[in-house]
C-alpha cells in the first residue's frame, strides 16, 4: 500500500512536500488533488495568507525551500489565487492523459519558481502546452472533471484531512505539513 499526498497548487507548503515527497518517502506517494478552499470552508477557517502571520510563514517557506535544495521561491502576483481551475486542470490532465503529476509539477514550478499566476487561464494553457496537452479550457469544464475534484475533496474532508499538504500514511495516520514527511519516511 502506498501513502497518499493531498495537495492544492495554490499552497507553497504543498509545493515543498510535492517536490520532495518521493525522495523523503523512498517511493512516490499517490498524488491526490483537492480544493483546499473547500476544506477550509468546511473546517471554518481560512488560509494563513490572509492572517497577521503571513510574513512569518513567507519567510519560513523561503527558508525551507533553500534548506531542501529547491529553487528560490518567487511569489506569484496576487497570491494566493483561486485554485479551482488549476485543480480541475490537474484532474483533467490525469483523467484524460495520465499526466496529472507532470502538469502539477510544471504548475508548482511555474507558480513558486517563476512567479506565474495559476489563477490566470493563459498561464494554465501555457503549462498544459509545455507538458504536451491541448484542450484544457474544454477539459476543465467537463462535468466529470468537476465531479471528480468535488468527490476527492469531499472524501478528504470525510477522512479528516485538515488542509494541504497532508500525507495519509499506509498505517492510517494523517501527517499535516511538509515538515512531517520525514515521520512517514523515517
> How many domains does one find in the chain?
1
Tens of pLDDT along 110-130? 999 999 999 999 999 999 999
Q: Could you tell me the residue range of the domain that residue 29 belongs to?
A: 4-185
The percent of the chain in helix, strand and coil, each rounded to the nearest 5, is 60, 10, 35
Among 26-30, 51-55, 174-178, where is mean pLDDT lowest? Answer: 51-55
pLDDT digits (tens, 9 = 90+) for 154-167: 999 999 999 999 99
Check residue 119 and give its pLDDT. Answer: 94
Residue 80 has pLDDT above 90, yes or no: no
Task: Give me the chain's average pLDDT, please.
Answer: 93
CB 16 within 8 A of CB 64: yes
Confidence band of 48 (pLDDT split at 50, 70, 90): low
pLDDT at 136: 97
| pLDDT above 90: residue 109 | yes
Exposure string over 27-43, b if 16+ CB within 10 A, otherwise e = eebebbbbbbbbbbeee
> Does residue 186 carry a pLDDT above 70?
no
* Cβ atoms within 10 Å of 4's Cβ, excluding its own: 18
Please state, in angstroms and rounded to a whole number, the distance separating the CA atoms of residues 183 and 126: 36
Cα–Cα dist 152/35, whole Å: 8
Q: Which pTM was predicted?
A: 0.94
- The domain that holds 53 is classified in CATH as 3.40.30.10
Amino acid at each position: 500500500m502506498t501513502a497518499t499526498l493531498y495537495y492544492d497548487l495554490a499552497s507553497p507548503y504543498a509545493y515543498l512536500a510535492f517536490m520532495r515527497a518521493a525522495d523523503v518517502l523512498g517511493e512516490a506517494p499517490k498524488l491526490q488533488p483537492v480544493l483546499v478552499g473547500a476544506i477550509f470552508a468546511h473546517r471554518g477557517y481560512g488560509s494563513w495568507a490572509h492572517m497577521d502571520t503571513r510574513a512569518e510563514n513567507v519567510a519560513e517557506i523561503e527558508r525551507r525551500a533553500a534548506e531542501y535544495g529547491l529553487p528560490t521561491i518567487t511569489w506569484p502576483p496576487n497570491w494566493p489565487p483561486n485554485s479551482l481551475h488549476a485543480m480541475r486542470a490537474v484532474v483533467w490532465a490525469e483523467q484524460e492523459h495520465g499526466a496529472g503529476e507532470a502538469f502539477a509539477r510544471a504548475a508548482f514550478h511555474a507558480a513558486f519558481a517563476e512567479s506565474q499566476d495559476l489563477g490566470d487561464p493563459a498561464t494554465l494553457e501555457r503549462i498544459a502546452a509545455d507538458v504536451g496537452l491541448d484542450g484544457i479550457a474544454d477539459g476543465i469544464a467537463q462535468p466529470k472533471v468537476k465531479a471528480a475534484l468535488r468527490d476527492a475533496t469531499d472524501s478528504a474532508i470525510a477522512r479528516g484531512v485538515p488542509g494541504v499538504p497532508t500525507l495519509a500514511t499506509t498505517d492510517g495516520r494523517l501527517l499535516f505539513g511538509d515538515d512531517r514527511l520525514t515521520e512517514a519516511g523515517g
